[in-house]
Amino acid sequence: MKTSRSFYTYLLTTYLSPYRLQVAGLALTLLTSIGLQVFNPQLMRGFIDAAVAGVAQRILIQISLGFIAIALVRQALVLASTYLGETIAWHATNTLRLDLVRHTLHLDLPFHATHTPGELIERVDGDVDALSRFFSQFVIQVLGNGLLVMGILGVLWWEDWRAGLGLSVFAITALGLLSRLQVLAVEPWRVYRQMSAEFYGFVAEHLSGLEDLRANGATGYVRHRLYGILRRWLKAFHRARLTSTALWGGTVGVFTVGNAIALSLGAYLWNQNAITIGTVYLLFYYTTLLQDPIEQIRAELEQFQQAAASLQRIQHLLKQRSQLRASGQTQLPQGALSVAFKEVWFSYQPSLVTRYLSLEQPPYPTTHNPERATLQNLTFRLPPGQVLGLLGHTGSGKSTLARLLLRLYDIQAGQIYLGGVNISQVSPQNLTERIGFVTQDVQLFQTSVRNNLTFFNPHISDGEVLQALEDLGLMPWLIGLPYGLDTELGEDRSGLSAGQAQLLAFARVFLKNPGLVILDEASSRLDPLTEQLIEQGIDRLLHRRTGVIIAHRVQTVMGADQILILEQGKILEYGDRRTLMANPQSHFARLYAHAALANLGQTPLGRISKEIIRDS
């Protein structure tokens, strides 16, 4: 993939336009510095000439003071350009970072399943870092030094048109060669940046699983994989840096050849008595004068190679589109929401369903294709305010059903209605606002208890947060924390157990006002006693709301109005809970009986639970 020039222009104009004044200031300071670079050696030469000529001490001191003054001015300019450059670069890259994160967050879950958090961190932070010089200095430096080259050539044309012509040809050749060499290293740098992202992805992933790795004696395995990654990373690094060296080696080579040509020409013409020795020297002198600005441009281009590589990766990320179909802007009705599935088909590999449906092949595993669609031809309707108990073996499609309601994935055929509205027409913001979803895996952030509950939303008051914790019986835990709601939390910090984390997830839903609450194995990590305690909380949560309770245990759904049992993506049984219970032939009644049997051996826990209750 090649990055078009228009993308560079787009980035520069989009991200720099709010800082026009600062950019103008930066341009001024940088161009002045470039100008002074030329002036300083002149002053030095003046000093030497004056000293050798034996002029008065006073004049020497004046020249020295001038020298120092210019040095001071240059330092001030360097400081100013550092400040302006860094500020502009950080403002621009931060805006780009946020845009990238926003974009990435909106990508679908299959994208996130194939990109580790560590890799994504490197893509939105590391790749963007490489752009700071591109935003702040690149254009100004290249333009400024380009101007300098033109100035030098202009003076030369004025002094001797032949010398001017010769060196113009030389400068154009040199710059043309550099811009050609510059492109070479972009691809190797892109590969290198990709390796970096892979490395950071590897590191972050294995640090998250530190406990699992250690406890399974797998540290040797991690080191082994690290060696492999380092090897490939080094190879990419060598390739990128070596192709980049073409620029440096190229500049040195071009100037050597240029000098040699200038001197040969000079020597030849001098031998022909066509020019004076002074002109020969002039030719040589100006070739070396051109060296500095062209070297500067070379250094900028070398940095730009990495920026261009990062830009390609950024552009690639921005081009990723969510596979979800566009949503409408319809709002869901207020109050409890009805849920309806109509002939819904879904597979995580969409082609599977479309193929089956178009060819009318049996949508179940055959010897040719062991795959089956995750959900097959699902139809049911849950009236508003009722609670559905969703049962099934692991892998039967229960959680998938919940994800479809939240439009984390799109169905391939059929329709899903919430409160009578097809969810594909509902605005995504409204959909997530109106559905409360608690899963078994609770994600906590490394920040305060408050932020963990409010997702950093400053509009939720402490009173509301405390009320939610109170409702769930989490107040004793909160009181035990050193800084209350301000206590920093994290994956398992402050001794927060996975069970307590699940309670926090309940509290998050309490802080919303959803019309539909989905509990996906939400209480599976709670002990029976705590489960009983928060049942009141759940009842309150489900009051005047529609509920979907996903469970693998019959007891969990005994309060439900309707029961749906899934098996291998199909409805095994669906109906009113009481009716099903009353029919001993129903799967539900048999499941219940089976579970009751298994629980007969529950004496120890029953006894112990009673003891705990007595104690507390």
Partner 1 sequence: MPVRPQSISVPSIWQYLWQMIRYAQRLYWLDTFLWLVITGFPIVPGLLIREFFDSLTQSPEGGTPWLWIGLLLAAGAGRVIAIFVGRITKTQHRFLMSALVRHNLLLGLLQRPGAELATGGINGHATSPGELLSYFREDAEQLEDTVVGTNEILAEAVFAGVSVALMLSVNATITLLVFVPLCAITALVRRAEQRLKRYRHASRQATQQVTGLLGDLFTAVQAIKVAGAETPMLAELKVRCDRRRRQVVRDQVFTALLNAGFDNIVSLGTGLVLLLAASKLGAQGQLTVGEFALFIYYLSFVTYFLGFLGGFLAQTQQCSVSVARMTSLIGTEAAQPGTSPASVPPTSQPSCLTTPYPLYLKPILGSPPPLPKPAGFPPSEPLQELRVEGLTYHYPGSDNGITNISLTLGRGSLTVITGRVGAGKTTLLRVLLGLLPSQAGAIFWNNQPVTDPANQLIPPRVAYTPQVPQFFSTTLRENLLLGLAGSDIPKRLQGAITTAVFDQDVARLPEGLDTRIGTQGVRLSGGQKQRAAAARMLVRQPELLVFDDLSSALDVNTEQRLWERLLGQESASESDQAAAPSTHRLDHPPTCLIVSHRPVVLSQADQVLVLEAGQLLTASSPR
Residues 302-341 that bind partner 1 (CB under 8 A): none
Q: Which range binds partner 1 by CB under 8 A, 88-96, 310-318, 337-345, 411-419?
A: 88-96
CB of 528 to partner 1, least distance (A): 6
- Should residue 281 be labelled a site residue for partner 1 when binding is judged by CB under 8 A? yes
Q: Which residues contact 223 (CB under 8 A, 6 or more apart)?
A: none
Chain residues 573-602 in contact with partner 1, contact rule CB under 8 A: 591, 594-595, 598-599, 601-602
- Should residue 126 be labelled a site residue for partner 1 when binding is judged by CB under 8 A? yes
Q: Which residues contact 322 (CB under 8 A, 6 or more apart)?
A: 106, 107, 108, 111
Which residue carries 């390609």 as its tokens? 312
**Which of 480, 483, 477, 408 is CA-nearest to residue 451?**
483
CB of 147 to partner 1, least distance (A): 24
CA distances from 238 to 101, 253, 313 (A): 31, 21, 20
- Should residue 221 be labelled a site residue for partner 1 when binding is judged by CB under 8 A? yes
- Should residue 212 be labelled a site residue for partner 1 when binding is judged by CB under 8 A? yes
Give me the torsion for CA of 598, 604, 605, 611, rounded to 10°.
Answer: 150
Chain residues 245-274 in contact with partner 1, contact rule CB under 8 A: 245, 248-249, 252-253, 255-257, 259-260, 263-264, 267, 270-271
CB of 578 to partner 1, least distance (A): 22
Contact 529, 613 (CB under 8 A): yes
Contact 369, 356 (CB under 8 A): no
CB of 342 to partner 1, least distance (A): 23
551 vs 521: CA distance, rounded Å:
5
- Give the nearer residue to partner 1 in terms of CB position, either 183 or 210: 210
- Should residue 554 be labelled a site residue for partner 1 when binding is judged by CB under 8 A? yes
Contact 25, 19 (CB under 8 A): no
Strand order in the sheet with 387-392: 435-438, 516-520, 546-550, 387-392, 562-567, 570-576
Among 11, 120, 308, 344, binds partner 1 (CB under 8 A): 120
x-or-dash pattern for partner 1, window 514-543, by CB under 8 A? -------x--xxxxxxx-------------
CB of 446 to partner 1, least distance (A): 5
Contact 416, 341 (CB under 8 A): yes
329 vs 563: CA distance, rounded Å:
32
- Should residue 7 be labelled a site residue for partner 1 when binding is judged by CB under 8 A? no
Q: Which amino acid is at 432?
A: T
Q: Which amino acid is at 164?
A: G
- Give the nearer residue to partner 1 in terms of CB position, either 336 or 435: 435
330 vs 434: CA distance, rounded Å:
13
Among 7, 25, 125, 381, binds partner 1 (CB under 8 A): 125
- Should residue 445 be labelled a site residue for partner 1 when binding is judged by CB under 8 A? yes
CB of 198 to partner 1, least distance (A): 10
Chain residues 19-78 in contact with partner 1, contact rule CB under 8 A: 44, 47-48, 51-52, 54, 57, 60-61, 64-65, 67-68, 71-72, 74-76, 78
- Give the nearer residue to partner 1 in terms of CB position, either 106 or 180: 106
- Should residue 480 be labelled a site residue for partner 1 when binding is judged by CB under 8 A? yes
Q: Which range binds partner 1 by CB under 8 A, 10-18, 311-319, 410-418, 547-555?
A: 547-555
Q: Which amino acid is at 438?
A: V
Which residue carries 């730009």 as its tokens? 304
- Give the nearer residue to partner 1 in terms of CB position, either 3 or 116: 116
520 vs 152: CA distance, rounded Å:
73
Chain residues 135-194 in contact with partner 1, contact rule CB under 8 A: none
- Should residue 479 be labelled a site residue for partner 1 when binding is judged by CB under 8 A? no
CA 32 to chain centre: 38
Among 8, 157, 237, 574, binds partner 1 (CB under 8 A): 237
- Give the nearer residue to partner 1 in terms of CB position, either 24 or 498: 498
329 vs 213: CA distance, rounded Å:
46
Which residue carries 């699992």 as its tokens? 212
Chain residues 421-440 in contact with partner 1, contact rule CB under 8 A: 428-429, 431-433, 435, 437, 439-440
Q: What are phi and psi of 438, to 5 degrees?
A: -120, 125
Kindly state the DSSP code that residue 442 receives in the 8-state scheme. Answer: P
CB of 358 to partner 1, least distance (A): 20
- Give the nearer residue to partner 1 in terms of CB position, either 113 or 359: 113
Tokens representing 378 are 């699902």
- Should residue 278 be labelled a site residue for partner 1 when binding is judged by CB under 8 A? no
**Which of 532, 589, 273, 566 is CA-nearest to residue 400?**
566
Among 33, 118, 294, 546, binds partner 1 (CB under 8 A): 118
HEC letters along 379-397: EEEECCCCEEEEEECCCCC
Tokens representing 141 are 């430096």
Q: Which range binds partner 1 by CB under 8 A, 27-35, 279-287, 332-340, 411-419?
A: 279-287
Q: Which range binds partner 1 by CB under 8 A, 82-90, 293-301, 313-321, 416-424?
A: 82-90
Contact 581, 559 (CB under 8 A): no
Contact 386, 546 (CB under 8 A): yes
CB of 458 to partner 1, least distance (A): 7
